[in-house]
Structure 1
């Protein structure tokens, strides 16, 4: 029979099972007390010393062989059977030499239940109780008290088995309760996870509806107005190419981005090209629209990264170039994407005015104007990366650096 204790989680053990030192101390005290009783109370002669020596030999046997399977609650192991067999041999011989040796059974009976499956433990417990009884009967076979001794032996054996079964049943029920508690805790964690996921989904749906009703509709209205105004211009009017066509393109791109957010898709720019090419196109478009000298460089060999990494890199480039457009008053900007073994690094540096430490230009969660930089820090942190903004360097200008683990898809 296999006990449920073998399949129970280690951290659900009873307090008495966790405190192995208690079992060690109990076994040592019981055997030591029995040895003292044998030496003091037994008749003088070599038998008492032999009995004491046999009992004493069980102590190192316990610590070397039985302690580990008892500590790990491993029933039915080879070490357990070896210990029980040798213990019975030593204990039985000592009991035939000196009757008082049977007091050591108070230590050996628990060992049987700890080391053996239940049915075999019962056999071992019966042997532990009957061996000294048999020794007493053989020693006093002519005594009229033999019947009383047999009754006493039967009573002690029954009591030991009853206590053993009772404790075993308590342990089984405790294991079942521990397993039930573990399942309930797992279910509670799963409910919390599903509730969180449902909350995230509900919030995403709410934001998608808000984006659809505000930004997407607004971009669509702007696009329609620009297209209507463009149609009123003469075919050769320079405003077409200089103003209206770039404006219409930007409006279309932002409308597509808004619709992608509504559908929870990756950025539109990443749908048809890798992130290195998307940032290249973004930089080229930025330079054409602003007149700022914009350069782009790729270091290392571009490779396919996880979609989340691509999104953060593209958003970082967009945010950094937007800030250059709005705040830097720069004459040039350089964008560098570096692929290294463990990380990928995006650097956007301009030669504008920069900013002093502690000013509003630094990313601040309480500053709505620079929410984009705050969001950039949070995006990088979610991927175990970093985002830094340096606007007080000796060479002037502002440098935005985003470094992310080079996670592959």
Structure 2
């Protein structure tokens, strides 16, 4: 299928084709003297060189450079008129100037070229003025209008073809861009899936680490403390039996909690009871195990919350009490569970040695695991402590109702560690 520039090349080559055919006929005409045939051949060669140089050798001039093309067309028309006066076959070359005007002259200048060609076809202005009757003038005007219409039609067709080509190019570019976007999206999706897998693995590792810390590690730590206490009280049989019984109970509870954690279930104390009762059992059991006075105070109206919320509060209190037993050296401990309109708050306070939250030992794995749990629920953790002034740990999480079910989604929260980024 011919393209637009192929048609342009064909129209611009047309004068040379007609010139060659006409020259063969004129030179082979035996009626013309040899001298006239030589002059005609020389003029035809001049036309060929003129057309080649101005149009074919400089393809950027047509329809872009009005001045050179005006000079070219005037020269071509003059030489074609001279040749047609020497031999009538060159009248074909004059007629070929009609399409050549639209192929070489830019814009509206092509219609001036058509008018000039019409005058030459009719023998010039003088021939029109000397003609008898209106028919020569009518014929000239009719030929000019017909040539102009044909030229306009050709240009309109070329413009439509070019418009469609531009639309096709734009469509092809859009398709290429869409293909590239598809490849980029596929690559990005692959990266996101890989990142999601890595995040899922890291999250599951963190969950398992927290569960192990909150169950097995704390249970083992409690067992070790009871065994050390029993060793120190070796002379008191009742004290030894009491300590060993506590250690045995801790071991059983730890084993049960490990099994439940691995199964993804709620902690045992929360499986069949409400949070306040579970915390009451936790505090009283902790007090008995460590022989330290501890109290639980519940404020507000207790209500059933989402399992994730209750587990998080329970584990936070459990971790805070474990820290009191291991590090605080406290004489008494108080736990407060506050039900508010939008949040539930658990506070664990002791009168122990305290510590610097911003120091090197301010945040062990226990506090870090607590923070991770709470932040996952869009809650926050606050730790207030100073050497010799005891410690207060406050955990605040949204009071998400139990009706929210498993469809509840968590967002990132904050953790306030006494202005320390732990």
TM-score, structure 2 length as denominator?
0.49
Q: Could you list the per-position Cα deviations for residues 328-377 of structure 1 after superposition, in whole angstroms to 9, with x for gaps in the alignment?
A: 122222212223333322211112221245444522xxxxxx21112222
Distance 2:272 2:335 in 1: 21
- Aligned partners of 1:341, 1:163: CA distance in 2, in Å? 71
Q: Deviations over 1:248-292 (max 9, x none)?
A: 221112112222333344433333334343223212211222232
State the partner residue of 1:378.
372
Change (3 A) 1:306 1:191: farther
Correspondence for 2:41: none
Q: 1:207 to 1:179 in 2, by over 3 A?
A: same
Q: RMSD between aligned alpha carbons? A: 4.0
CA contact (8 A) 2:357 2:383 kept: no
The offset of 1:317, in angstroms, is 0.7
Aligned residue in 1 for 2:314:
314
Equivalence for 2:399:
406
Give the distance between the partners of 2:330 and 2:154, measured in 1 at CA. 99
Distance 1:381 1:216, change over 3 A: closer
Distance change >3 Å, CA 334–CA 158, structure 1 → 2: farther
In structure 2, the CA distance between the partners of 1:280 and 1:160, relative to structure 1 (3 Å rule), is farther
Q: Number of residue pairs matched?
A: 248
Hey, what's the Cα distance between the residues in 2 that align with 1:188 and 1:198? Answer: 15
User: Structure 1 length normalisation: TM-score?
Assistant: 0.50
Q: 1:342 to 1:157 in 2, by over 3 A?
A: farther
Question: 1:345-364 residue pairs with structure 2 within 5 A?
Answer: 345-356=345-356, 358-363=358-363
Aligned to 2:390: 397
Aligned in 2, Cα 1:390/1:206: closer, same or farther, shift over 3 Å? Answer: closer
Contact 1:275-1:310 at 8 Å conserved across structures: yes
Counterpart in the other structure of 1:263: 263
CA distance in 2, matches of 1:315, 1:149: 93
1:153 aligns to what?
152
Give 5+ residue unaligned stretches, structure 1. Answer: 1-99, 101-140, 227-236, 364-369
5+ residue gaps, structure 2, are 1-107, 109-139, 227-236, 405-422
Does 1:173 pair with 2:172? Answer: yes
Max Rg structure: 2
Bigger Cα displacement from structure 2, 304-313 vs 285-294: 304-313
Q: 1: CA distance between counterparts of 2:348 and 2:206?
A: 34
SS in 1 for 2:396: strand
Query: Given the superposition, is the C-alpha separation of residues 250 and 357 from structure 1 closer, same or farther in structure 2, using an over 3 Å criterion?
Result: closer
